[in-house]
Amino acid sequence: MADRYLSFTGTAPGRFLTRRLGLPQPAALRRWSPQHPSLEGDLLHVTAGKSDLGLDGTGLPLTRATERPAAVLLDATGVRDVDGLGDVHAALHPVVRSVAASGRVVVLGAPLDPADHHQSAAQQALEGFTRSLGKEIGRGRTVNLVRVTDAIAAESTLRFLLSPKSAYVSGQVIEVGDRHVTAPADWDLPLAGQTALVTGGARGIGEAVAATLARDGARVVVLDVPQAEEDARRVAERLGGSALALDITAADAGERIAAGLPAGVDVLVHNAGVTRDRRLVNMPADRWSSVLEVNLASVLRTTDALLAAGALNQGGRIVATASIAGLAGNAGQTNYGASKAGVVGLVRSLAPRALAEHGVTVNAVAPGFIETRMTAAVPLFIREAGRRMNSLAQGGLPVDVAETTAWLAHPASGAVNGQVVRVCGQSLLGA
């Protein structure tokens, strides 16, 4: 369903009226397209504190001076005390206003040093700073914090956050390890030669994820329930992939997937999910169990089975779909919130072991209000509240979740592990 308020605020009368009434003024976001694959303008590199991060090795087109940057990259990894936070202000205060509409601000921070509480305090302060700036910067611009020790390991993350692909990701704190990563032969086709399995891929967010992974070169397997087999085949044929009709809640689903893909899977996207909303006092046991079974139990069983069978190839990626409902809670969704919080627990526990034992990373995306057929059926006033209650004052699109998934699936994202990244326009709900 079209966001008519967003369209109205893009007109002269709309801008005048919303400004006079103090109403949200969302800016039309600039997303990736083949015609506009990157931000249009310079990438300004500024520094706070003393840093030896070595960003020159990333291949990013950095400049130290420009009048109207498309993005600003602030290296604050060297900030170790309160005085250093003054350098953060000094570096960004003069340039924030000049960042182009739909531009980007990315702050680079260092991991907290448990042996130095002054450094930890200063680096933790960057989190509050980043999220606060994200809520005030406006005009479709985003602000994110990346904790990093190795610039090369963070290159895929920086490329994502400094591009139109991250249009609906703001106010996030992402930790990048120092694991060695290898750049793809072609940054435009990073998944060439790889196989990606997307559950619930016949429609909505799953279809967008499948299309985006295919765009990046993957051979996509679209998995959905037998009732959606026709839609799954339609999507697969359009993308040059294949379809797999399978009930993901079946006890042997993992074994059947492994048998059907003898060459293994490089990217596993757990997207299948259902809602059965009702307040707990009115929720029968079957509405509770069906949501937990699809959204959580099947993810656990399938992941365990594929790992045990060696069906996830070395260097593989698991990307699960959580939700801000699992992070912040939502009335009428105790079952859904529990299932999605469970996905977060799975990611944080499994990530270090899966990497150590199988060479596979495990991360999650946590969508906020995304414009789908499901949200289009939400009552008008609730729908409008969902759209406006974030720093970008609008709903996201399925492609926003897909682009974030594609970044986590990227072969150069091997140092990103155990992360839960919200795709919510910096929702006012939760952290």
Q: Alpha carbon of 300 to those of 195, 221, 292, 404, 422: distances in Å? A: 21, 20, 11, 22, 21
Pairwise CA distance, residues 275 & 252, whole Å: 23
CB 168 within 8 A of CB 397: yes
CB 380 within 8 A of CB 142: no
Please report the beta strands in 64-117, taking only residues with DSSP state E, as ranges in sequence order. 71-78, 104-109
Pairwise CA distance, residues 166 & 403, whole Å: 7
Q: Alpha carbon of 232 to those of 24, 161, 229, 271, 306: distances in Å? A: 38, 31, 5, 14, 22
Which one of 336, 383, 407, 421 is the catalytic residue? 336
Q: What angle do CA 152, 357, 265 make, to 5 degrees?
A: 80
Q: List, in order, residues 6 or more apart from 202 with CB less than 8 Å away.
A: 222, 224, 228, 231, 232, 234, 235
Q: How many CB atoms lie within 10 A of CB 229?
A: 16
* 336 is an active site residue: yes
CB 182 within 8 A of CB 210: no
Residues classed as catalytic = 336
